């Protein structure tokens, strides 16, 4: 019996019992679509979790910052000079594994920004080189980044994030028109600075969707003639932990950034502080390495270079994003595993349904099997016929499940419009479909074996 | 050499520790082109003999040689292939597959013989023409009368060109007239040179065949019971009267 005619027989058998086959397939359909939907949701979550990591430069970026001396070097503490611009120059000259070095000199304690008669304190006021823009994945949307010349001449210019603009010049959502304070003045600890550039607004995919949804609702209300949107007086709703998800802190801090030229910071703001060191001491420096897979070699190289400039005094340490990336991976692996187990169980239940229906099917077709054997079907023919029937049910169910999964994901998207968009991957579709076919074959094995072993004489006599 | 040679065949069943000899040391030769009936009351071992002749079962002892092939130790798969190639079955209850139409039913043995779709169709049509069912090709068995169903079943039995047509009570489920038509068909097949074995307990049917074998208590009876075999034909072709022994 050829494979093709066996498949046709299987399809006919399914068609002959449409409703029963549909119910049987339903288990597989639900299993496949839930497996795909689960995998798509986790993929969306992974993308959401990783976007914050990418927003701060990814795994390629690492930070060198000062640390207290180790115990065995405590007696050398007078020689510890911290991370300085000398280190930056040394790394640029002698560490080929490092492709970018960006020094950062923060003002501590945090300065007070003022403009328009408003005040704002922020965490991230730093003197940097223009290269910091690429290093921290910043994008200037309005104006320009300050230049090497601005840095050389220690000009009083700065670039700001959108939150600074919101606090000092007003939110565009509230004023109803874009607020671009380029060319305007703000003061940092009383020193006047000209704003030459502003970053774009950084936000996670989920926040962006939430904001767009809010704007849509607002527009709809405006169109309906409503004007009084807010209930009660304007209020702060309190700190929300920097957003609902941990990664949002990265976006929050980028929006709250003020960058000014390093020399300006050093000469005009730092020099006025008590205990100002004689050499330009950095808060930290950001490095970008050539290749993530050679992270360890890069770290060793950087350490060797810095040990020379620090003359053996180990007053610096490294900070990478490995832990963050690792925790994302662990979280995703767990989510994938738990979702996979649940979807796998529903696939298994679907498989049991197939086995059940195939057993019922062969016991109501005992006579047919007897007749087929009497006219010359051997055990293998019967075995293959039953196996193909169950496999065809699983394949049709799996294909229907693939289609259903798209609808399922649409529905999920409608229920939670602000969450990370589920991403259907070809891999998950192949996996779910393959699993459904595999389960169909497994579920058919036992009924097929039973049918093949049936005694032809008894089967012929069966009523 | 005979087409079918049975030598010292025994079939022994074990039921609850008790040994039942359904067939006891039976030897039988059936030559090519013979028209033969196997008769005997229920429980005589007639069905068991038919199963062994039809390669549905193997004997416990003895040898079976069908068309030169030793079948007594064949596996289930080998038996299936022997049935497919050498035996055409006709059953009392027709045993057509209800979900298939007439042509598909007749094509069934050829599917397992591995013939191409085109050849299957051609041979099925020819076989159906031979039993005068060429005009009901697309009907389901349930849309046919009993006699028509039996003719389709005979076409199915013929279609692989088997050595032996083995009919088990082929008229048992038909009225007298239709039964005679079917019997006439078997006679015609025999006249065409086919080997036909009728298994029956009906003396009138046995009377049609030139050779009769009676099974009694698992053995071939030395002398055929004339009443049972319908040999006592006062009027040829008419139902045999029951003579008082």
Tens of pLDDT, residue by residue over B113-138, are 888 889 989 999 989 988 888 888 88
- Taking the Cβ of residue A330 and every Cβ of chain B, the question of whether any pair is shorter than 8 Å is answered with no
- Taking the Cβ of residue B99 and every Cβ of chain A, the question of whether any pair is shorter than 8 Å is answered with yes
Distance spanning both ends of chain B, measured CA to CA: 38
The bridge status of strand B61-66 relative to strand B4-15 is antiparallel
Average pLDDT, chain A: 87
What is the mean predicted confidence (pLDDT) over A251-263?
91
Q: Encode A306-338: b = buried (16+ Cβ within 10 Å), e = exposed.
A: beebbeebbbbebebbeebbeebeeebeebbee
Distance CA A74, CA B165 (A): 107
- Taking the Cβ of residue B74 and every Cβ of chain A, the question of whether any pair is shorter than 8 Å is answered with no
- Taking the Cβ of residue A375 and every Cβ of chain B, the question of whether any pair is shorter than 8 Å is answered with yes
Does B56 sit within 8 Å of A16, measured CB to CB?
A: no
Predicted pLDDT at A268 = 87
What pLDDT, in 10s, does the model give residues B83-118?
Answer: 888 889 998 888 898 888 899 899 889 988 888 889
What pLDDT, in 10s, does the model give residues B29-44?
Answer: 888 888 898 988 888 8
Alpha helices in A130-187, H assignment, sequence order: 132-135, 148-152, 162-169, 172-175
**Pick from B81, B89, B117: which is nearest to A378 by CB?**
B81
What is the mean predicted confidence (pLDDT) over A71-88?
88
Distance CA B154, CA B161 (A): 11
Question: Taking the domains of chain B in order of start, what are their residue ranges?
Answer: 32-59+75-229
Predicted pLDDT at A124 = 87
Confidence of residue B67 (pLDDT cuts 50, 70, 90): confident
What is the mean predicted confidence (pLDDT) over A285-313?
92
DSSP bridge pairs for A199: A140
**Pick from A368, A376, A457: which is nearest to B80 by CB?**
A376
Distance CA B12, CA A378 (A): 24
- Taking the Cβ of residue A460 and every Cβ of chain B, the question of whether any pair is shorter than 8 Å is answered with yes
Those residues whose C-beta lies under 8 Å from the C-beta of residue B121, and which sit 6 or more positions away, are: B103, B107
Does A374 sit within 8 Å of B56, measured CB to CB?
A: yes
Q: Does residue A294 carry a pLDDT above 50?
A: yes
Hey, what are A445's tokens? 């094995």
Angle at A333 between CA A327 and CA A338, to 5 degrees: 130
- Taking the Cβ of residue A12 and every Cβ of chain B, the question of whether any pair is shorter than 8 Å is answered with yes
What pLDDT, in 10s, does the model give residues B130-159?
Answer: 888 888 888 899 998 888 999 899 999 989
Q: Choose the mutation target among A4, A361, A375 for the interface with B, i.e. most B CBs under 10 Å.
A: A375
Distance CA B241, CA B77 (A): 46
Contact, A251 vs A203, CB < 8 A? yes
Which residues from chain B sit within 8 angstroms of residue A460, using beta carbons? Answer: 56, 91, 95
Does A16 sit within 8 Å of B83, measured CB to CB?
A: no
Q: SS3 for A329?
A: helix
Which residues from chain A sit within 8 angstroms of residue B99, using beta carbons? Answer: 12, 16
The bridge status of strand A191-199 relative to strand A157-160 is parallel
Contact, A137 vs A55, CB < 8 A? yes
Hey, what are B10's tokens? 């025994």
Contact, A63 vs A286, CB < 8 A? yes
Predicted pLDDT at B229 = 55
Q: Choose the mutation target among A371, A376, A449 for the interface with B, i.e. most B CBs under 10 Å.
A: A376
Q: Does residue A435 carry a pLDDT above 80?
A: yes
Between helix A18-55 and helix A426-453 the angle, nearest 10°, is 150
Which residues from chain A sit within 8 angstroms of residue B160, using beta carbons? Answer: 376
Dihedral sign from CA coordinates of A430, A435, A436, A438: positive
Confidence of residue B234 (pLDDT cuts 50, 70, 90): very low
Does A368 sit within 8 Å of B76, measured CB to CB?
A: no
**Pick from B77, B84, B97: which is nearest to A371 by CB?**
B97
Confidence of residue B174 (pLDDT cuts 50, 70, 90): confident
Which residues from chain B sit within 8 angstroms of residue A369, using beta carbons? Answer: none
ipTM of the complex model: 0.87
Hey, what are A460's tokens? 């012929």
Predicted pLDDT at B99 = 85
Q: Does residue A226 carry a pLDDT above 90?
A: no
What is the mean predicted confidence (pLDDT) over A203-223?
81
Does A12 sit within 8 Å of B85, measured CB to CB?
A: no
Q: Does residue A233 carry a pLDDT above 80?
A: no
CA distances B166 to A197, A200, B53, B56, B209, Å, are: 99, 90, 8, 11, 13
Q: How far is CA A113 from the centre of its chain?
A: 33
Higher confidence at residue A438 or residue B233? Answer: A438
Those residues whose C-beta lies under 8 Å from the C-beta of residue A347, and which sit 6 or more positions away, are: A27, A28, A31, A32, A35, A432, A435, A436, A439
- Taking the Cβ of residue A118 and every Cβ of chain B, the question of whether any pair is shorter than 8 Å is answered with no
DSSP bridge pairs for A260: A127
- Taking the Cβ of residue B81 and every Cβ of chain A, the question of whether any pair is shorter than 8 Å is answered with yes
Q: Choose the mutation target among B53, B77, B78, B80 for the interface with A, i.e. most A CBs under 10 Å.
A: B80
Nearest residue in B to A2, CA atom? B114
| Alpha-carbon dihedral A216, A222, A226, A228, rounded to 10 degrees | 80
Query: What does residue B122 show for φ and ψ, rounded to 5 degrees?
Result: -60, -50
Hey, what are B168's tokens? 């088990």
Q: SS3 for A196?
A: strand
Distance CA A34, CA A407 (A): 11
What pLDDT, in 10s, does the model give residues A88-138?
Answer: 999 999 999 999 999 999 887 888 999 988 999 887 899 999 999 999 889
Predicted pLDDT at A260 = 94
Dihedral sign from CA coordinates of B105, B106, B112, B114: negative
Hey, what are B58's tokens? 């193997």
Q: Of B242, B228, B243, nearest to B38 (Cα)?
A: B228
Dihedral sign from CA coordinates of A89, A90, A91, A95: positive
Nearest residue in A to B156, CA atom? A375
The bridge status of strand A316-320 relative to strand A118-121 is unpaired
Does B84 sit within 8 Å of A16, measured CB to CB?
A: no
Q: What residues of chain B, 37 to 66, have a C-beta less than 8 Å from chain A?
A: 51, 56-57
The bridge status of strand A157-160 relative to strand A257-261 is antiparallel
Does B56 sit within 8 Å of A368, measured CB to CB?
A: no
Nearest residue in A to B85, CA atom? A376
User: Which residue shows structure tokens 């489920």?
Assistant: B173
Q: Of A18, A17, A28, nearest to A443 (Cα)?
A: A28
Task: Lowest mean pLDDT of A126-135, A390-399, B204-213, name the range.
Answer: B204-213
Those residues whose C-beta lies under 8 Å from the C-beta of residue B182, and which sit 6 or more positions away, are: B147, B150, B151, B154, B170, B171, B174
Q: What residues of chain A, 331 to 350, have a C-beta less than 8 Å from chain B?
A: none
Q: Does residue B224 carry a pLDDT above 80?
A: no
**Pick from B57, B81, B95: which is nearest to A376 by CB?**
B81
Does B112 sit within 8 Å of A381, measured CB to CB?
A: yes
Q: Of A14, A10, A262, A219, nearest to A125 (Cα)?
A: A262
Q: Does residue A6 carry a pLDDT above 80?
A: no
* Residue B242 distance to chain A (closest CA, Å): 31
Which residues from chain B sit within 8 angstroms of residue A11, using beta carbons? Answer: none
Does B95 sit within 8 Å of A376, measured CB to CB?
A: no
Predicted pLDDT at A300 = 94
Distance CA B154, CA B166 (A): 10
User: In CATH, what number does B32-59+75-229 get?
Assistant: 3.40.50.300
Which residues from chain B sit within 8 angstroms of residue A366, using beta carbons? Answer: none
Which residues from chain B sit within 8 angstroms of residue A381, using beta carbons? Answer: 80, 112
Nearest residue in B to A17, CA atom? B99
Q: Of B151, B143, B149, B111, nearest to B127 (Cα)?
A: B151
What pLDDT, in 10s, does the model give residues A155-196?
Answer: 999 999 999 998 899 888 777 788 899 999 999 988 999 999
Between helix A366-374 and helix B102-113 the angle, nearest 10°, is 60
Predicted pLDDT at A204 = 81
DSSP bridge pairs for B65: B5, B70
What is the mean predicted confidence (pLDDT) over A268-283?
76
């Amino acid at each position: 019996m050829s494979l093709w005619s066996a498949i046709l027989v299987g399809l006919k058998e399914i068609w002959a019992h449409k409703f029963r086959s549909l119910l049987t397939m339903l288990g597989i359909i639900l299993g496949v679509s839930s497996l795909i939907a689960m995998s798509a949701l986790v993929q969306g979550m992974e993308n959401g979790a990783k976007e914050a990591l990418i927003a701060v430069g990814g795994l390629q970026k690492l930070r060198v910052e000062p640390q207290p001396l180790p115990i065995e070097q405590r007696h050398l503490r007078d020689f510890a000079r911290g991370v300085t611009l000398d280190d930056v120059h040394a790394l640029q000259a002698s560490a080929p594994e490092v492709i970018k070095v960006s020094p950062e000199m923060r003002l501590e304690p945090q300065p007070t920004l003022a403009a328009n008669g408003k005040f704002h304190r922020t965490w991230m006021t730093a003197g940097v080189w223009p290269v910091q823009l690429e290093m921290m994945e910043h994008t200037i949307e309005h104006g320009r980044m300050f230049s090497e010349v601005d840095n050389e001449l220690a000009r009083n210019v700065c670039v700001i994030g959108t939150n600074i603009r919101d606090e000092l010049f007003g939110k565009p959502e509230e004023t109803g028109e874009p607020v671009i304070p380029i060319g305007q003045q703000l003061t940092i600890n009383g020193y006047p600075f000209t704003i030459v550039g502003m970053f774009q607004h950084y936000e996670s995919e989920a926040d962006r969707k939430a904001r767009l949804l809010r704007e849509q609702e607002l527009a709809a209300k405006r169109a309906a003639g409503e004007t009084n949107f807010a209930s009660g007086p304007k209020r702060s709703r309190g700190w929300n932990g920097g957003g609902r998800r941990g990664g949002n802190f990265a976006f929050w801090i980028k929006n709250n950034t003020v960058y000014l030229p390093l020399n300006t910071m050093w000469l005009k703001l730092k020099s006025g502080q008590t205990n100002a060191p004689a050499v330009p001491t950095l808060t930290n420096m950001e490095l970008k390495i050539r290749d993530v897979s050679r992270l360890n070699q890069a770290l060793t190289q950087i350490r060797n270079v810095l040990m020379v400039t620090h003359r053996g005094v180990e007053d610096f340490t490294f900070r990478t994003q490995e832990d963050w990336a690792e925790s994302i991976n662990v979280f995703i692996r767990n989510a994938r595993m738990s979702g996979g187990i649940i979807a796998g169980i529903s696939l298994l239940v679907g498989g049991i349904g197939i086995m059940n229906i195939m057993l019922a099917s062969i016991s109501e077709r005992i006579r047919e099997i007897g007749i087929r054997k009497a006219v010359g079907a051997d055990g293998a023919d019967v075995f293959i016929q039953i196996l193909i029937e169950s496999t065809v049910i699983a394949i049709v169910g799996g294909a229907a499940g693939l289609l259903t999964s798209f609808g399922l994901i649409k529905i999920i998207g409608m229920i939670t419009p602000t969450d990370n968009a589920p991403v259907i991957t070809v891999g998950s579709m192949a996996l779910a479909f393959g699993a459904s076919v595999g389960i169909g074959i497994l579920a058919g094995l036992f009924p097929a074996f039973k049918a093949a072993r049936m005694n032809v004489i008894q089967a012929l006599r069966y009523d | 050499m005979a087409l079918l040679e049975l030598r010292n065949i025994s079939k022994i069943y074990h039921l609850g520790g008790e040994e039942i000899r359904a067939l006891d040391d039976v030897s039988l030769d059936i030559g090519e082109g013979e028209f033969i009936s196997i008769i005997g009351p229920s429980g005589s071992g007639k069905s068991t003999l038919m199963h062994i002749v039809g390669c549905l079962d193997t004997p416990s002892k003895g040898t079976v040689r069908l068309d030169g092939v030793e079948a007594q130790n064949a596996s289930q798969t080998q038996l299936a292939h022997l049935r497919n190639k050498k035996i055409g079955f006709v059953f009392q209850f027709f045993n057509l597959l209800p979900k298939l139409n007439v042509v598909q039913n007749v094509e069934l043995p050829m599917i397992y013989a591995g013939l191409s779709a085109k050849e299957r169709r051609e041979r099925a049509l020819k076989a159906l023409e031979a039993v005068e069912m060429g005009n009901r090709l697309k009907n389901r068995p349930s849309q046919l009368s009993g006699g028509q169903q039996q003719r389709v079943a005979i076409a199915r039995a013929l279609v692989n060109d088997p050595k032996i047509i083995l009919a088990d009570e082929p008229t048992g489920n038909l009225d007298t007239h239709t039964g005679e038509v079917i019997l006439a068909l078997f006679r015609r097949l025999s006249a065409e040179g086919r080997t036909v074995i009728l298994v029956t307990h009906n003396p009138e049917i046995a009377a049609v065949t030139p050779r009769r074998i009676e099974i009694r208590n698992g053995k071939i009876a030395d002398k055929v019971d004339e009443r049972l075999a319908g040999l006592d034909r006062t009027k040829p072709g008419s139902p045999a009267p029951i003579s008082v022994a």
